[in-house]
Amino acid sequence: MNSHLLKKTKEMIAMSFDQYWAVRPETLQAIVLQIENNTEAIEQIASNKYREKKGIAEIKISGPLVKTDDWFTSIIGATSYESISDTLDDLAENPGIKGIVLNIDSPGGVVSGIDSVVDSIKRAAKVKPVVAFSDGMMCSAAYWIGSAASYIVASKNADIGSIGVVSVHQEFSKMNESEGITTTVFKAGEFKAGGNPYEPLTDKVKAEIQQRLDFTYNNFKKSIAKNRKTTIDKVNDMAEGRVFIGKQAKDIGLIDEIGNIDIAYKQVRKIIMDEIKTMDGLKEHYASLIEEHEKDVKNSQKESIFSLLSLFIGKEHADKFIDLYNSGISPKQFESVAAIYDNSQDKKADDFKAEMLEEIKKTGAENVGVSNDEQKKDFLSEVSKYQQNENVSYAKAISHIAKTMPELHSEYLNSL
């Protein structure tokens, strides 16, 4: 590569790195070398595609992590947050997918855009289990992503952690000077264009950059604490850029289990089964079966009530009640009809009928509403008035008004 092209390439690197990275330092250096040497892009395994196995989707996330898909992504063999989020959102809405495995092998990446992936994981986890797995690296930003999953599995030799933030600055003022190139940066504001590649950093700009790094680092730790349901003090033990291997990561709380990819799939299935065991889970997975069962229970209750009703008021009268019930009559209308039988039944039967009516209400009879006919209003108004004045039950109020105002009661029944 000639010197002019090398100079331009380094300038491109410096401008591209005007952002913060949650990545292992050696990976950041490898990215620099890859662009400088203009080598072929490494195979991009992770994309907006996934593979599905018996209702479980596996998303592969590998290489450096960047915000969006562009030329930079393809050059360094990176995975974009944009593609991960899009895939997660699609899988969350896919009824054929019951769970998700995030297969992660990444040293980390840029901080910008990572919140969108974390949010997508959490949205997906509300409707189906999401388990993270790594048998390579789940470091820095990659761990930030993995921590949002419902459960984390890693192999015994996987690198986990590296919780920290890094930023690299390069400037070429001396190289430009040696080649007779003078670059002038015009700006308004003391910190504007701070960290540009054409002039050395001032102490104030260095302090400002460090302050932003510290702020991002604290946000990183807070997010890990929230995702892993632990304290900042505990996260501090995991952080400071340290990398933990396999069992070390489990012992300190970075992961939940040591195992291979099959263990991750097994954990997804376990979470699914645990959810199915709950009533809400059963209703979701077996809605039609539950609905049929509830109908059977209600029908059984009605049959028992109607059988007992026949014993107390006789089959002929009971059949009339059953016909009225099946016609969709409301419980209140049903109570008014029950008053017809008050003169022919003793007090014990009256009490039992009231109990039966209460039970019939519980079986779910639909209220077909009351007509606006004036005669209905008059009868029901008298019933309500008597109930309030005498402080009696609604059924007893109907019985009393039916006895004392038989003509009004008869007109009411005719209007039903």
Q: Could you tell me if 302 and 249 lie in one domain?
A: no
Q: Could you tell me if 274 and 380 lie in one domain?
A: no
Q: Could you tell me if 120 and 257 lie in one domain?
A: yes
Active-site positions read: 140, 192
Task: Give bridge partners of residue 108 from the DSSP assignment.
Answer: 23
SS3 percent helix, strand, coil of the chain, rounded to 5, is 60, 10, 30
Q: Could you tell me if 17 and 147 lie in one domain?
A: yes
* DSSP-assigned states of every residue in 116-178: HHHHHHHHHHHHS-EEEEESSEEETHHHHHHTTSSEEEE-TT-EEE----B------HHHHHH
Task: Give bridge partners of residue 257 from the DSSP assignment.
Answer: 153
Within 8 A by CB and 6+ apart from 279, the residues are none
The tens digit of pLDDT for each residue in 304-355 reads 777 776 766 677 767 766 766 666 656 665 565 555 454 444 445 555 555 5
Backbone angles phi, psi at 108, to 5 degrees: 120, -160
Using CA atoms, how far apart are residues 343 and 336, in angstroms rounded to an integer?
14
Q: Could you tell me if 121 and 189 lie in one domain?
A: yes
Could you tell me the sign of the dihedral formed by the alpha carbons of 389, 390, 391, 393, in that order? negative
Which of residues 280, 313, 338 is at a domain's end? 280
The tens digit of pLDDT for each residue in 109-134 reads 999 999 999 999 999 999 999 999 99
Using CA atoms, how far apart are residues 203 and 179, in angstroms rounded to an integer?
27
Averaged pLDDT, 154-166 = 95
Q: Could you tell me if 276 and 292 lie in one domain?
A: no
Q: Note whether 371 and 415 are within 8 A (CB).
A: yes
**Measuring CA to CA, which residue among 251, 173, 147 is closest to residue 11?**
173
Question: What CATH number is attached to the domain comprising 234?
Answer: 3.90.226.10
Confidence check: pLDDT of 227 > 90? yes
- Give the pLDDT score at 331: 62
Q: Could you tell me if 306 and 231 lie in one domain?
A: no
Q: Could you tell me if 228 and 114 lie in one domain?
A: yes
For 399, the domain range is 288-415
Q: Could you tell me if 27 and 160 lie in one domain?
A: yes
Confidence check: pLDDT of 228 > 90? yes
Confidence check: pLDDT of 207 > 80? yes
The tens digit of pLDDT for each residue in 366-409 reads 443 344 444 455 777 887 888 888 887 766 777 788 788 877 77
Q: Could you tell me if 294 and 255 lie in one domain?
A: no
Q: Could you tell me if 242 and 382 lie in one domain?
A: no
The tens digit of pLDDT for each residue in 67-111 reads 987 766 667 778 999 999 999 999 999 989 999 999 999 999 999
Q: Could you tell me if 107 and 214 lie in one domain?
A: yes
Rg (CA), the chain: 37
The tens digit of pLDDT for each residue in 262-280 reads 999 999 999 988 877 665 6
Using CA atoms, how far apart are residues 323 and 11, in angstroms rounded to an integer?
89
Domains held by the chain: number:
2
Q: Which of 26-40, 165-179, 191-205, 387-401 has the lowest mean pLDDT?
A: 26-40
Q: Cα 90 vs. chain centroid, distance in angstroms?
A: 13
- Give the pLDDT score at 355: 56
Using CA atoms, how far apart are residues 180 and 19, in angstroms rounded to an integer?
29
